[in-house]
Amino acid sequence: MKALTWHGKGDIRCDTVPDPRIEDDRDVIIKVTACAICGSDLHLMGGFMPTMEKCDILGHETMGEVMEVGRAATRLKVGDRIVVPFTMSCGECRQCKWGNWSCCERTNPNGKMQAEQFGYPLAGLFGFSHITGGYAGGQAEYLRVPYADVGPLVVPQGIDDEKVLFLSDIFPTAYMAAENCGLKGGETVAIWGCGPVGVLAIKSAFMLGAERVIAIDTVPERLALARQAGAETIDFGDETVQDRLMEMTGGQGPDAVIEAVGMEAHGADTVAQKVSSAIMAATVSMERPFALNQAILACRPGGTVSMPGVYAGPAGPVMLGVLMNKGLTLKTGQTHMLRYMKPLLERIEKGEIDPSFIISHRSTNLEDGPELYKTFRDKKDACTKVVFKPHG
C-alpha cells in the first residue's frame, strides 16, 4: 500500500510499504477513507520529537471502513465506519478507569523509554515516534487499529467523512482546551494560534458559554477563519498583543487564555534539549515573550491558562512567578479522547457544528502528501487543513 513516511527533518515521502495485518486479537484493520495532517505532525516534520525512525508511517487523524476484525474486537464488525482516536486506551488500567484515557498505562510498549524522559509512561499514539509506542500511523491506504475493542467510535452511514474526521483529534482537543477554561458563562477567552485547534477552540468556547473570544495569530487567512468562527482578532505582527488585549478588556485581561500553538512558537529544540541564548533572550523578553508567557501575562488574576499546545521537553523559561502570584490555574495534557468523541458526534448530528469548515486542501492521492505537508507547514496557499481520501 501507499503511505506517508518520515525520513528525517523536513523529509516526508510517499512510499510503498507492506499492508498491515492483524497482530493481536484486539486489532482491527481499516481501509482508510479519510485522514488529515495535524499541527502535531509538524513537530515530527520539524525534527522536534526524538525517537522517530526512517520509514515510520505518519498520521493520527484517521477514519475508515473495518475490513478485518481480531477475535477479541467483537464490538466492531466488517463494514463498520469508524473514527480512530489518536491515543490508544486499554480500558482496564487505573488511568483508563479514572477517565484519564490519554494517560493509559498499558498501550505503550515503549513506556519505559518514555518514563525515562517524562518520569511516567503515557498512552500509545498512532504515527507519533517510538517513544509513544512506534505504532504505524494512518496517513496510508490501510491501518491496523490496536485496542479496537475500546477506542474507535462507530459513526452512522450517511454522514459525510469530512464532518466527523476531526473527532479523531482536533475537535475533542479544542473542546477539552475550552472545557479546561472552566467557563460558567459570559467570560472573555483569548486564544493564541488560529490553526485548526485554535479555530475549533473558538467554536468550543462559544458552545461552553464564552461571551467574547479574542484570537491571536499573524497569518491573514487564519485570522479570517477565526473571525468566521466568531472571534475578534489580533495580528501579533502588527500589534503588541499585551497592550491590545488590555485595551479590549478594559484593563482587566481575559478571564481565561488558551495556548494553541505549541513548541514551534519559540523554536524550542527538544532533540538537543537546549535553548540557545538568542531564544532564551527572546523568550524572557517582556516585549516579545513566547505565546505561553504572553498568555500568562495577559490572563486576569485568578483566571485559567489552558494549554493544548504540545511540548516534548524543556521549553521556556516560563513565567512561573507571574503564574503563581496571580493565582492562575494551568491545565494541559494530551486529550482524553473517549470523554468527548461521542458527545461531540451528537452535536455534529444535531447540526450544532460542522468542523469541516476548516478544510482548505483535499487530495485523493497520497503522492501529493510531501508537497501538501510543506504547504501546511509554511501556511502557503491559504492552507488551514489538509485532508486525504486515499481511495478516492
- Asked if residues 219 and 243 have their Cβ atoms less than 8 Å apart, the reply is no
Nearest approach, Cβ of residue 217 and ligand NAD (Å): 4
Stretch touching Zn ion by CB under 5 A, among 19-27, 30-38, 153-161, 323-331:
30-38
310 touching ligand NAD, by CB under 6 A: yes
| Binds ligand NAD by CB under 6 A, chosen from 111, 193, 369, 390 | 193
Which pairs with CB-CB distance under 8 Å and at least 24 residues apart come from 218-225?
219/194, 219/379, 221/360, 221/379, 221/382, 221/383, 221/384, 222/194, 222/195, 222/198, 222/379, 222/384, 223/194, 225/194, 225/199, 225/357, 225/358, 225/384
User: Using CA atoms, how far apart are residues 227 and 28, in angstroms rounded to an integer?
Assistant: 40
Q: Residue 56: which H helix or E strand, with range? A: strand 56-57
Q: What gap in Å lies between CA 35 and CA 142, rounded to an integer? A: 11
By CB under 6 A, what part of segment 315-374 binds ligand NAD?
334-335
- Decide: is 225 part of the binding site for Zn ion (CB under 5 A): no
Q: Is 216 in the site for ligand NAD (CB under 6 A)?
A: yes
Q: State the number of CA atoms in the 13 A half-sphere of 28 facing the CB.
A: 30
Q: Does 90 help bind Zn ion (rule: CB under 5 A)?
A: yes
Q: Binding segment for ligand NAD among 110-118, 147-155, 189-197, 317-325 (CB under 6 A)?
A: 189-197
- In the region spanning residues 217 to 256, those forming contacts with ligand NAD, defined by CB under 6 A, are 217-219, 222, 236
Residue 80 touches Zn ion, criterion: CB under 5 A: no
Q: How far is the CB of 263 from ligand NAD (least distance, A)?
A: 7
CB atoms within 10 A of CB 292: 27
Nearer residue to ligand NAD within complex by CB, 66 or 170: 170
195 binds ligand NAD (CB under 6 A): yes
In DSSP terms, 82 is beta-bridged to: 64, 154
Q: Is the peptide bond before 317 cis (omega within 30 degrees of 0)?
A: yes
73/338 with CB nearer ligand NAD: 338
Could you say whether residue 40 binds Zn ion (CB under 5 A)? yes
114 binds Zn ion per the rule CB under 5 A:
no
Residues that bind ligand NAD (CB under 6 A): 38-40, 42-43, 169-170, 173, 192-198, 216-219, 222, 236, 260-262, 265, 291, 308-310, 334-335
| Residues making contact with Zn ion (CB under 5 A) | 38, 40, 90, 93, 96, 104, 106, 169
